[in-house]
Chain A
Amino acid sequence: MTLRPDLNLIAHLVPGSSRVLDLGCGDGTLLQHLIADHDCTGTGVEIDPEMVLGAIDSGVPVMELDLDADLALFDTGSFDTVVLSRTIQTLRHPELVLREMARIGRQLIVSVPNFGLLQHRLMLLRGRMPMSRELPYSWYDTPNLRFTTLVDLEDLFAKLGLAIEQRINLSLAGEPLAKSFRAANLRAGAAVYELRGV
């Protein structure tokens, strides 16, 4: 099974045999891979009914819940790893959800599109809302409610006491960029963060 590059990257951050909560799990692709190939257990959370059905078909335990409202259902410390993949920008209460993630799990993995990408800034300078491979939606028809740059997001992590273990920058094509890559806030299409509660 070939995973999307960013999911493959996340899969390699998760230690084998972990208990994983995947928030915004879609059709369960990542969890299916983690369960089948990394000896993990876990549960997905998804709100889109068609995606939930897809996850059920692929044999992944999935809960049809609203991340903004329902995470209290999960006990403190009940998961090793909590993943939030390309979902934070769709939340009404991202701060609350990050707090809940830190309560539920030890290792947090958050991936996010970078609104601060140069290409996006240039579009704004020309007076247009940014659209790109990372932000493919028209402003009036998008699931995205929140737009953040990597720098702003890291401020929020700091405020919440979340330590950044590592940040992996991704190109607009979703490929990991070299460690020597600089000026990520300007040049990365997206990033994957590995965080730990302090």
Chain B
Amino acid sequence: MPAPGSVGQVATLAARLFTAQSPLRLASGAVLGPVDVAYETYGTLSAGKDNAVFICHALTGDAHAAGFHEGAKRPGWWDNLIGPGKPLDTDRFFVISANLLGGCQGTTGPSSTNPDTGRAYGLDFPLLDMADFVTVHRALLAHLGIERLLAALGGSLGGMQVLEWGLRHPEQVTNAAIVAASSRLTAQNIAFSAVARRAIMDDPDFHDGRYAEVGVVPRLGLRTARMMAHITYLSEDAFSEKFGRTPHPERDKPGFGIDFAVESYLDHQGRVFLERFDALSYLYLSRVMDYFDPFSRPDALHGVAASPVKFLVLSFDTDWRFSTDHSRRIVKHLQNAAQPVTFREIPSSWGHDSFLLPVARYHDTLRGWFGRALREGLR
């Protein structure tokens, strides 16, 4: 028996959505095939297929959003949100979560085998666009026999996919929830990503992206990238509250090792990241965020003007990676295109990471908004 509020044991499924004969056509014009997608689903699709909610994950997420894999002690990354009686109530909603294109958790990405060469794509993998993530999500929906979504939901890069989806295919997305996201990265955002990529590519074990063939991983670079990113995911107050200036328990005397608790935390985050993430995916996915600027397209709002989408845009007051200004910019564009937009800035001391945490006002908002979506049904 699963614990109350848990979807219980789950398994990641795989689907081949594009083949070499029938490849994925990317926004750039390049083609890619085969493309496999890893995904999970929770809850039951209604007979009318009108209760499907698609979860888009962030930069380093995966398909495993809720429940437990066999033998696992830790649940999926959004388990506090998804489950029976939770804000995304799996007694009422059918939830779909997929690893995105270019990822490394079961979906085709730059470390997958290139059928033309028999070895990993490496840097031969084509550059991706936000639209390509959405194309593959849509192919998964078609594979599942679902024409339209009751809602799409995502945080950070996930929210950017939801925005792209709503703008490009508004008829498919009745409700779109965009959390702690951005419609255009600032120079500072791009700068952080640039240093992360530089750390990876300058690692002697990177080998121009062919590290798998040499049997190594650019560990130092990937670890440094993750450590730096983690600093941007929390607020200054959150670091103070969590660690203060507490010395690391194993410190004997001051030096250049891990002297402070916060250093130990970052070191740990960097190390565990190596176990589950791929350096090439980091490069490709972070680059998609840099280039994302949907409202710069002259026809960006034509689709939603003809077929409005109910948008929910949420930010967190201590998020300095994608501050409330980013969300307000999204809101301003949507509002002035006469879209039904709901916007809140949620107080939370945890910074960007708040979107993954059970912050009460945040979850109450999602619960109310999804409940309303279900009452109203598909457009």
Contacts and interface: CB of A to CB of B under 8 A. Distances in A.
A56 B328 contact: no
18 contacts: A43-B340, A53-B364, A56-B342, A56-B368, A56-B369, A56-B372, A57-B368, A58-B372, A59-B375, A61-B342, A62-B342, A63-B341, A63-B343, A64-B344, A65-B343, A74-B336, A75-B336, A78-B335
B33 interface: no
Given A43-B341, A57-B372, 8 more contacts: A41-B338, A56-B342, A56-B372, A59-B375, A61-B341, A62-B342, A64-B345, A73-B331
A49 interface: yes
Nearest to A52: B344
Most buried by A among B341, B361, B368: B368
A86 interface: no
Given A64-B344, A64-B345, A53 B368 contact: yes
B135 interface: no
A167 B203 CA distance: 74
A58 B369 CA distance: 9
A73 B340 contact: no
Interface in A35-70: 41, 43, 49, 52-53, 56-59, 61-65
A19 interface: yes
Contacts of B371: 57
B376 interface: yes
B332 interface: yes
A43 B335 contact: yes
Contacts of A57: 368, 371-372
B310 interface: yes
Contacts of A41: 338, 340
A57 B371 CA distance: 8
Contacts of B368: 53, 56-57
Contacts of B335: 43, 63, 73-75, 78
B336 A53 contact: no
Most buried by A among B332, B335, B345, B375: B335
Q: How large is the interface on A (under 10, 10 to 19, 20 to 34, 35 or more residues)?
A: 10 to 19
A64 B364 CA distance: 15
A162 B88 CA distance: 47
Contacts of A74: 335-336
Leading 8 A-B pairs by shortest Cβ distance: A61-B340, A75-B336, A56-B368, A64-B344, A63-B343, A57-B368, A59-B372, A61-B342
Contacts of A63: 331, 335, 341-343
Interface of A: 19, 41, 43, 49, 52-53, 56-59, 61-65, 73-75, 78
B365 interface: yes
Interface in B288-342: 310, 328, 331-332, 335-336, 338, 340-342
Given A41-B340, A74-B336, A75-B336, A59 B345 contact: no
Contacts of A52: 344
Contact of B343 (A53, A58, A64): A64
B334 to A, nearest CB: 10
A54 to B, nearest CB: 9
Contacts of B341: 43, 61, 63
Contacts of A78: 335-336, 338
Contacts of B361: 49, 53
A61 B368 CA distance: 12
B149 to A, nearest CB: 18
B180 to A, nearest CB: 15
A73 B328 contact: yes
A27 to B, nearest CB: 11
A56 B340 CA distance: 12
A64 B361 CA distance: 13
A197 B364 CA distance: 39
B376 A59 contact: yes
Interface string B240-256: 00000000000000000
Nearest to A21: B335
A79 to B, nearest CB: 9
Interface string B358-378: 000100110011011001100
A73 B338 contact: no
Nearest to B340: A61
Contact of A19 (B310, B332, B338, B364): B338
A43 B332 CA distance: 12
B287 to A, nearest CB: 30
Contacts of B342: 56, 61-63
A7 to B, nearest CB: 20
B160 to A, nearest CB: 20
A92 B375 CA distance: 38
Contacts of B375: 59
A59 B312 CA distance: 12
A21 to B, nearest CB: 10
Most buried by A among B331, B338, B342, B372: B342
A65 B372 CA distance: 21
A43 B310 CA distance: 11
Contacts of A58: 372
Contacts of B344: 52, 64
